[in-house]
């Protein structure tokens, strides 16, 4: 049995938990340092407000231990604000959070009018995937070894770099389970390798 921790400081964490529960995986919330005493094989960084999440991660002393785990190969799924937390660089912004994913990300990339929209697009490994975008970022440049998994209107909206999955959209807000299924598979592989 695998266990997946969901960063639950702010944003759309409950929807990820519901999705995992439905898929038969027991998630737990990460809210304080002692929550990291759990054994876990995957980490979800949910959507929300990356500036708020980044500050809370530091204030609650969660930042360094989580960063070390990601660098050591723990599978991580970053959605929307989660992608921003993982990015090595942000456009016209000196802020770097974890900086473990070698991509450049443009925040709030679609402007106010297109604050929120739905699309369906092909995703590598998974086929057609419904995508919900909410004041979403996109990936404007990728580094070596990063795979592009999906594009919408010529913009990169999903990438994978080894153990790190970064999505500009919210897979937890749609009926489709394929993204979470794919992530759970990565967590199983990680667990099998570790044991």
Q: Which residues are catalytic?
A: 80, 170, 172
Site residues for ligand GLN per CB under 6 A: 47-50, 80-81, 84, 107-108, 134-135
Instruction: Kindly tell me which of 17 and 80 has the beta carbon lying closer to ligand GLN.
Output: 80
Nearer to ligand GLN, 93 or 185 (CB): 93
Question: Smallest distance from the beta carbon of 53 to ligand GLN, in angstroms?
Answer: 7
Q: How many CB atoms lie within 10 A of CB 33?
A: 11
Partnered with residue 3 across adjacent β-strands are: 26
- Minimum distance of ligand GLN from residue 85's CB (angstroms): 8
Number of other CB atoms surrounding residue 29 within 10 Å: 16
Question: Which lies closer to ligand GLN via its Cβ, residue 2 or residue 86?
Answer: 86
Shortest reach from residue 176's CB to ligand GLN, in Å: 18
In sequence order, what are the residues at sequence separation of 6 or more whose Cβ sits closer than 8 angstroms to the Cβ of residue 158? 123, 148, 149, 150, 165, 166, 167, 168, 169
DSSP designation for 149:
E
């Amino acid at each position: 049995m695998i266990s997946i921790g969901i960063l639950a400081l702010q944003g759309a964490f409950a929807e990820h938990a519901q999705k995992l529960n439905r898929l038969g995986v027991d998630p737990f919330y990460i809210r304080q340092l002692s929550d990291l005493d759990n054994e876990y094989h995957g980490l979800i960084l949910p959507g929300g407000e990356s500036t708020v999440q980044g500050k809370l991660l530091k204030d609650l002393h969660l930042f360094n231990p989580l960063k070390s785990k990601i660098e050591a190969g723990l599978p991580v799924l970053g959605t929307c604000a989660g992608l921003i937390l993982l990015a090595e660089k942000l456009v016209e912004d000196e802020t770097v959070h974890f900086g473990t994913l070698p991509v450049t990300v443009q925040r709030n990339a679609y402007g106010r009018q297109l604050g929120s929209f739905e699309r369906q697009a092909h995703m590598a490994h998974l086929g057609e995937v419904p995508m919900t975008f909410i004041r979403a970022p996109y990936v404007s440049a990728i580094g070596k070894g990063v795979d592009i998994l999906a594009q919408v209107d010529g913009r990169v909206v999903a990438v994978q770099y080894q153990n790190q999955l970064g999505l500009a959209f919210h897979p937890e807000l749609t009926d489709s389970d394929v993204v979470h299924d794919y992530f759970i598979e990565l967590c199983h592989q990680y667990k099998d390798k570790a044991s």
